[in-house]
Structure 1
Amino acid sequence: MTTTDTPSTAAAPVASLAMITLDAAETEPIAQFWSAVLGWPIVHLSEQYAMLTGPSHALGIGAIPDYQRPSWPDDGRKQFHLDLAVEDLDAAAARCVELGAERPSQQPGETWIVLRDPAGHAFCLTDAAAWG
């Protein structure tokens, strides 16, 4: 079965994805960063929680006491990351760095660029044309 095939006996989905929430030490810097990167408005901002809304999903940022930044490279401990489709990899990476992202020296390939947001969350910029 390919990833686009659905078995005819598939049950109705249990849920739909409404929001992804990132942990951070502080909400405002991460909310500002992701708002600038994605162009999504910040609809709620407090010291404990922030929320951005996109066309069909939301991004939350929750303040966590004693937050520890994820590492990169991560030796397989990273649990997830965001893949962002962009028209120009180098221009998008440069803009993200201007906004506060870090570009680690270790990069795993040539068709994407790994960056870290100001709280240390890894995310990848990928060529939009590769996504169809």
Structure 2
Amino acid sequence: MKTQPCFTLAATTLDAPNALELARFYQSLLGWLMVREEPGWVEIAPPDRSAGLSFQTEPFFTRPRWPSRGSEQQMMMHLDIEVNDLSSALGHALALGATMADFQPQSDVRVLCDPAGHPFCLFVRT
């Protein structure tokens, strides 16, 4: 019987109009390390160097729309970020340049958009 190869998620990559600017936002938000930077490509990771986030400059980037609307660029994915204090985490994210999404579907989760428009959620695990 053939054994299955080993797969390890190394990163999630977000396209942006400027990879370095968006990487700096998430680096400040999460307190992670910048582990690789080259023109149009940046990687950040947690201190233990487990799966991180990568950012790629996309010259034709179109801001996603959330909640989605028929003909506009839809959100293809989002990040769920666990925090220990929703109120202070929200304030921190907003101070770094995030914006609050108009639609908030849950009272215990805050949906925000990063500076490039990617939605992400902050939540406290209950």
The interval holding the TM-score normalised by the smaller chain is 0.7 to 0.9
Q: CA deviation at 1:123?
A: 0.5
> What is the distance in 2 between the residues matched to 1:105 and 1:13?
43
TM-score normalized with structure 1 length: 0.82
Runs of 4+ in structure 1 deviating by more than 4 angstroms, as ranges, are 11-14
> What is the distance in 1 between the residues matched to 2:7 and 2:42?
23
Cα deviation digits, residues 63-93 of structure 1 (max 9, x gap) = 0111101112224942211111111112111
> What is the distance in 1 between the residues matched to 2:88 and 2:113?
16
Amino acid at match of 1:122: P
Q: Does 1:78 align with 2:75?
A: yes
Q: CA deviation at 1:46?
A: 3.1
Alignment check: 8 A CA contact 1:24 1:30 kept: yes
> What is the distance in 2 between the residues matched to 1:96 and 1:62?
21
Amino acid at match of 2:15: D
Residue of 38, 42, 55 corresponding to 1:61? 55
Alignment check: 8 A CA contact 2:75 2:118 kept: no
Q: Does 1:126 align with 2:123?
A: yes
Amino acid at match of 1:89: L
Q: Does 1:109 align with 2:109?
A: no
Alignment check: 8 A CA contact 1:50 1:62 kept: yes
SS across alignment from 1:92: helix
SS across alignment from 1:61: strand
Match of 2:39 in 1: 47
Amino acid at match of 1:99: L
RMSD in angstroms over aligned alpha carbons? 1.8
Residue of 80, 90, 95 corresponding to 2:92? 95
TM-score normalized with structure 2 length: 0.85
Aligned length: 119
Amino acid at match of 2:79: L
Question: CA 1:13–1:37 in structure 2 vs 1: closer, same or farther (change >3 Å)?
Answer: farther
Alignment check: 8 A CA contact 1:81 1:124 kept: yes
